[in-house]
Protein backbone atom coordinates (compact mmCIF):
# COMPACT_ATOMS: atom_id res chain seq x y z
CA UNK A 1 0.00 0.00 0.00
CA UNK A 2 2.93 2.31 0.70
CA UNK A 3 4.09 1.97 -2.92
CA UNK A 4 0.60 2.76 -4.18
CA UNK A 5 0.18 5.81 -1.97
CA UNK A 6 3.54 7.15 -3.17
CA UNK A 7 3.16 6.08 -6.80
CA UNK A 8 3.58 9.62 -8.12
CA UNK A 9 6.97 9.88 -6.45
CA UNK A 10 8.06 6.68 -8.22
CA UNK A 11 6.47 7.22 -11.62
CA UNK A 12 7.65 9.30 -14.56
CA UNK A 13 4.94 10.94 -16.66
CA UNK A 14 7.26 10.56 -19.66
CA UNK A 15 7.15 7.08 -21.18
CA UNK A 16 10.17 7.55 -23.45
CA UNK A 17 11.78 10.09 -25.75
CA UNK A 18 12.68 9.96 -29.42
CA UNK A 19 15.52 12.23 -30.49
CA UNK A 20 14.77 14.55 -27.62
CA UNK A 21 10.99 14.53 -28.18
CA UNK A 22 9.35 13.40 -24.95
CA UNK A 23 6.39 11.06 -25.29
CA UNK A 24 4.06 11.23 -22.29
CA UNK A 25 1.95 8.37 -20.98
CA UNK A 26 -1.05 10.64 -21.36
CA UNK A 27 -0.47 10.86 -25.10
CA UNK A 28 -0.20 7.08 -25.36
CA UNK A 29 -3.45 6.63 -23.41
CA UNK A 30 -5.16 9.23 -25.60
CA UNK A 31 -4.19 7.33 -28.75
CA UNK A 32 -5.38 4.07 -27.17
CA UNK A 33 -8.67 5.72 -26.26
CA UNK A 34 -9.26 6.72 -29.87
CA UNK A 35 -8.29 3.31 -31.26
CA UNK A 36 -10.46 1.42 -28.76
CA UNK A 37 -13.45 3.67 -29.44
CA UNK A 38 -13.03 3.19 -33.19
CA UNK A 39 -12.72 -0.60 -32.89
CA UNK A 40 -15.81 -0.84 -30.70
CA UNK A 41 -17.75 1.36 -33.13
CA UNK A 42 -16.73 -0.81 -36.09
CA UNK A 43 -17.64 -3.96 -34.19
CA UNK A 44 -21.17 -2.83 -33.38
CA UNK A 45 -21.68 -1.22 -36.79
CA UNK A 46 -21.14 -4.67 -38.35
CA UNK A 47 -22.77 -6.71 -35.58
CA UNK A 48 -25.96 -4.63 -35.62
CA UNK A 49 -25.97 -4.32 -39.41
CA UNK A 50 -26.26 -0.53 -39.23
CA UNK A 51 -25.45 0.03 -42.89
CA UNK A 52 -22.34 2.12 -42.15
CA UNK A 53 -19.25 1.12 -44.12
CA UNK A 54 -15.78 0.95 -42.56
CA UNK A 55 -14.55 3.64 -44.94
CA UNK A 56 -17.39 5.96 -43.93
CA UNK A 57 -16.71 5.25 -40.26
CA UNK A 58 -12.99 5.99 -40.66
CA UNK A 59 -13.83 9.28 -42.34
CA UNK A 60 -16.33 10.12 -39.62
CA UNK A 61 -13.81 9.53 -36.83
CA UNK A 62 -11.37 11.93 -38.48
CA UNK A 63 -14.07 14.61 -38.48
CA UNK A 64 -14.99 13.82 -34.89
CA UNK A 65 -11.40 13.81 -33.68
CA UNK A 66 -10.83 17.29 -35.11
CA UNK A 67 -14.07 18.50 -33.54
CA UNK A 68 -13.26 16.94 -30.16
CA UNK A 69 -9.73 18.38 -29.98
CA UNK A 70 -10.87 21.87 -30.98
CA UNK A 71 -13.87 21.77 -28.67
CA UNK A 72 -12.00 20.30 -25.71
CA UNK A 73 -9.13 22.77 -25.85
CA UNK A 74 -11.18 25.88 -26.63
CA UNK A 75 -13.77 24.82 -24.04
CA UNK A 76 -11.07 24.54 -21.39
CA UNK A 77 -9.71 27.97 -22.27
CA UNK A 78 -13.14 29.59 -22.07
CA UNK A 79 -14.48 27.72 -19.01
CA UNK A 80 -11.61 26.71 -16.76
CA UNK A 81 -8.35 28.46 -17.63
CA UNK A 82 -7.33 31.45 -15.53
CA UNK A 83 -5.66 33.14 -18.53
CA UNK A 84 -8.66 33.20 -20.86
CA UNK A 85 -8.19 36.81 -21.93
CA UNK A 86 -4.51 36.23 -22.73
CA UNK A 87 -5.39 33.28 -24.97
CA UNK A 88 -8.12 35.27 -26.71
CA UNK A 89 -5.55 37.97 -27.51
CA UNK A 90 -2.96 35.33 -28.51
CA UNK A 91 -5.14 32.58 -30.11
CA UNK A 92 -2.14 30.99 -31.84
CA UNK A 93 -0.90 29.96 -28.37
CA UNK A 94 -3.97 27.80 -27.64
CA UNK A 95 -2.41 24.74 -29.28
CA UNK A 96 1.24 25.59 -28.63
CA UNK A 97 2.82 22.41 -27.13
CA UNK A 98 6.04 24.22 -26.12
CA UNK A 99 6.76 26.15 -22.94
CA UNK A 100 9.99 28.10 -22.62
CA UNK A 101 11.34 26.17 -25.60
CA UNK A 102 10.55 22.75 -24.07
CA UNK A 103 7.97 20.35 -25.49
CA UNK A 104 5.40 19.79 -22.74
CA UNK A 105 2.37 18.80 -24.82
CA UNK A 106 -1.05 20.41 -24.64
CA UNK A 107 -2.53 20.41 -21.15
CA UNK A 108 -6.05 21.42 -20.28
CA UNK A 109 -8.99 19.79 -22.03
CA UNK A 110 -12.68 20.21 -21.20
CA UNK A 111 -14.98 17.23 -21.60
CA UNK A 112 -18.04 19.42 -21.99
CA UNK A 113 -16.22 21.50 -24.61
CA UNK A 114 -15.31 18.26 -26.38
CA UNK A 115 -19.00 17.32 -26.46
CA UNK A 116 -19.89 20.56 -28.24
CA UNK A 117 -17.08 20.08 -30.75
CA UNK A 118 -18.15 16.48 -31.29
CA UNK A 119 -21.79 17.44 -31.93
CA UNK A 120 -20.84 20.15 -34.43
CA UNK A 121 -18.49 17.78 -36.28
CA UNK A 122 -21.08 14.98 -36.33
CA UNK A 123 -23.82 17.24 -37.65
CA UNK A 124 -21.53 18.67 -40.34
CA UNK A 125 -20.35 15.20 -41.39
CA UNK A 126 -23.84 13.72 -41.60
CA UNK A 127 -25.13 16.78 -43.46
CA UNK A 128 -22.30 16.63 -46.01
CA UNK A 129 -22.51 12.86 -46.54
CA UNK A 130 -26.30 12.54 -46.19
CA UNK A 131 -26.06 10.13 -43.28
CA UNK A 132 -28.55 9.41 -40.50
CA UNK A 133 -27.40 11.62 -37.61
CA UNK A 134 -29.03 9.55 -34.86
CA UNK A 135 -27.47 6.29 -36.04
CA UNK A 136 -24.00 7.79 -35.71
CA UNK A 137 -24.76 9.32 -32.34
CA UNK A 138 -25.96 5.95 -31.02
CA UNK A 139 -22.79 4.31 -32.28
CA UNK A 140 -20.71 6.92 -30.51
CA UNK A 141 -22.73 6.47 -27.31
CA UNK A 142 -21.78 2.80 -27.09
CA UNK A 143 -18.13 3.22 -28.14
CA UNK A 144 -16.98 6.38 -26.36
CA UNK A 145 -17.24 5.01 -22.78
CA UNK A 146 -14.69 2.31 -23.65
CA UNK A 147 -12.22 4.88 -24.91
CA UNK A 148 -13.03 7.13 -21.98
CA UNK A 149 -11.56 4.58 -19.58
CA UNK A 150 -8.13 5.04 -21.15
CA UNK A 151 -8.55 8.80 -21.23
CA UNK A 152 -9.07 9.01 -17.46
CA UNK A 153 -6.23 6.57 -16.81
CA UNK A 154 -4.17 8.97 -18.91
CA UNK A 155 -5.15 11.82 -16.58
CA UNK A 156 -4.03 9.71 -13.63
CA UNK A 157 -0.68 8.85 -15.20
CA UNK A 158 -0.17 12.47 -16.20
CA UNK A 159 -0.65 13.51 -12.57
CA UNK A 160 -3.47 15.95 -13.24
CA UNK A 161 -7.11 16.50 -12.23
CA UNK A 162 -6.36 15.47 -8.67
CA UNK A 163 -8.91 14.24 -6.16
CA UNK A 164 -9.91 15.97 -2.95
CA UNK A 165 -8.00 15.58 0.30
CA UNK A 166 -8.86 12.31 2.06
CA UNK A 167 -7.83 9.84 4.76
CA UNK A 168 -8.85 6.63 2.93
CA UNK A 169 -6.18 3.93 2.80
CA UNK A 170 -6.16 3.80 -1.01
CA UNK A 171 -5.50 7.52 -1.40
CA UNK A 172 -2.33 8.73 -3.13
CA UNK A 173 0.08 11.43 -2.07
CA UNK A 174 0.24 14.53 -4.23
CA UNK A 175 2.92 16.94 -3.05
CA UNK A 176 2.74 15.37 0.39
CA UNK A 177 -1.06 15.53 0.66
CA UNK A 178 -3.18 12.36 0.58
CA UNK A 179 -5.90 12.63 -2.09
CA UNK A 180 -8.58 10.50 -3.73
CA UNK A 181 -7.44 8.89 -7.03
CA UNK A 182 -10.58 10.47 -8.54
CA UNK A 183 -9.36 9.98 -12.11
CA UNK A 184 -9.70 6.23 -11.61
CA UNK A 185 -13.15 6.64 -10.06
CA UNK A 186 -14.13 8.47 -13.25
CA UNK A 187 -12.61 5.78 -15.46
CA UNK A 188 -14.75 3.20 -13.68
CA UNK A 189 -18.04 5.07 -13.32
CA UNK A 190 -18.05 7.29 -16.42
CA UNK A 191 -16.42 4.64 -18.58
CA UNK A 192 -16.99 1.03 -17.56
CA UNK A 193 -20.28 1.36 -15.66
CA UNK A 194 -21.88 3.61 -18.28
CA UNK A 195 -20.80 1.18 -21.03
CA UNK A 196 -22.30 -1.86 -19.24
CA UNK A 197 -25.62 -0.10 -18.62
CA UNK A 198 -25.81 1.07 -22.24
CA UNK A 199 -25.19 -2.49 -23.44
CA UNK A 200 -28.24 -3.59 -21.45
CA UNK A 201 -30.33 -0.72 -22.81
CA UNK A 202 -29.19 -1.49 -26.35
CA UNK A 203 -30.88 -4.88 -26.23
CA UNK A 204 -34.25 -3.17 -25.91
CA UNK A 205 -33.57 -0.13 -28.10
CA UNK A 206 -36.73 1.05 -29.85
CA UNK A 207 -35.56 3.93 -32.05
CA UNK A 208 -32.45 5.68 -33.33
CA UNK A 209 -31.07 8.24 -30.92
CA UNK A 210 -32.16 6.39 -27.78
CA UNK A 211 -28.62 5.38 -26.80
CA UNK A 212 -27.15 8.87 -27.11
CA UNK A 213 -29.98 10.24 -24.96
CA UNK A 214 -29.32 7.67 -22.24
CA UNK A 215 -25.57 8.16 -22.52
CA UNK A 216 -26.05 11.87 -21.88
CA UNK A 217 -28.11 11.12 -18.77
CA UNK A 218 -25.83 8.37 -17.45
CA UNK A 219 -22.60 10.26 -18.01
CA UNK A 220 -24.02 13.36 -16.33
CA UNK A 221 -25.01 11.34 -13.27
CA UNK A 222 -21.66 9.54 -13.07
CA UNK A 223 -19.70 12.78 -13.49
CA UNK A 224 -21.83 14.55 -10.89
CA UNK A 225 -21.03 11.82 -8.35
CA UNK A 226 -17.32 11.74 -9.20
CA UNK A 227 -17.06 15.50 -8.72
CA UNK A 228 -17.60 14.94 -4.99
CA UNK A 229 -14.18 13.26 -4.94
CA UNK A 230 -12.43 15.52 -7.44
CA UNK A 231 -10.70 18.74 -6.46
CA UNK A 232 -12.58 21.75 -7.90
CA UNK A 233 -10.73 23.44 -10.74
CA UNK A 234 -7.98 25.81 -9.66
CA UNK A 235 -9.03 29.44 -9.82
CA UNK A 236 -12.74 28.53 -9.93
CA UNK A 237 -13.46 26.46 -6.83
CA UNK A 238 -17.08 25.90 -5.87
CA UNK A 239 -19.36 27.93 -8.09
CA UNK A 240 -22.82 27.82 -6.48
CA UNK A 241 -24.64 25.86 -3.75
CA UNK A 242 -21.41 24.06 -2.91
CA UNK A 243 -21.16 22.62 -6.43
CA UNK A 244 -18.17 22.66 -8.75
CA UNK A 245 -18.28 23.84 -12.36
CA UNK A 246 -18.20 20.20 -13.44
CA UNK A 247 -21.33 19.46 -11.41
CA UNK A 248 -23.21 22.46 -12.76
CA UNK A 249 -22.36 21.49 -16.34
CA UNK A 250 -23.35 17.89 -15.56
CA UNK A 251 -26.74 19.03 -14.30
CA UNK A 252 -27.29 20.93 -17.53
CA UNK A 253 -26.20 17.85 -19.45
CA UNK A 254 -28.59 15.67 -17.42
CA UNK A 255 -31.62 17.83 -18.23
CA UNK A 256 -30.54 17.98 -21.87
CA UNK A 257 -30.50 14.17 -21.91
CA UNK A 258 -33.99 14.03 -20.40
CA UNK A 259 -35.30 16.50 -22.96
CA UNK A 260 -33.62 14.60 -25.80
CA UNK A 261 -35.10 11.30 -24.61
CA UNK A 262 -38.59 12.80 -24.38
CA UNK A 263 -38.25 14.50 -27.77
CA UNK A 264 -36.99 11.41 -29.59
CA UNK A 265 -39.57 9.17 -27.99
CA UNK A 266 -42.31 11.36 -29.42
CA UNK A 267 -40.93 11.55 -32.97
CA UNK A 268 -39.44 8.04 -33.20
CA UNK A 269 -41.62 7.16 -36.18
CA UNK A 270 -39.71 9.75 -38.24
CA UNK A 271 -36.17 8.67 -37.24
List the binding residues: 152
Task: Check: CB of residue 23 under 8 Å from CB of residue 128.
Answer: no
Count of alpha carbons within 13 angstroms of residue 31, beta-carbon side: 5
Q: CA–CA separation, 146 vs 44, rounded Å?
A: 13
Q: CA–CA separation, 99 vs 135, rounded Å?
A: 42
Q: What's CA 21's distance to the chain center, in Å? A: 26
Helical (H) or strand (E) element with 49:
none
Q: CA–CA separation, 181 vs 172, rounded Å?
A: 6
Count of alpha carbons within 13 angstroms of residue 8, beta-carbon side: 19
Q: Is 241 left (phi over 0), alpha (psi -120 to 50) or beta?
A: left
Q: What is the CA radius of gyration of the chain?
A: 19
HEC letters along 104-120: CCCCCCCHHHHHHHHHH
Q: CA–CA separation, 66 vs 229, rounded Å?
A: 31
Amino acid sequence: MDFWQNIYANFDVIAFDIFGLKVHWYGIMYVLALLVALMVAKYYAIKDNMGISKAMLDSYFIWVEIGVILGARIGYILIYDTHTLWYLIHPWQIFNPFYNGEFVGIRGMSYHGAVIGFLIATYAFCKKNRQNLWKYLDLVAISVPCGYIFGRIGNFLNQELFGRVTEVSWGIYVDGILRHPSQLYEAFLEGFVVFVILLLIKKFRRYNGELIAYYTILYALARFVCEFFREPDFGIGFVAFGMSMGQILSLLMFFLGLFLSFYLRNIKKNL
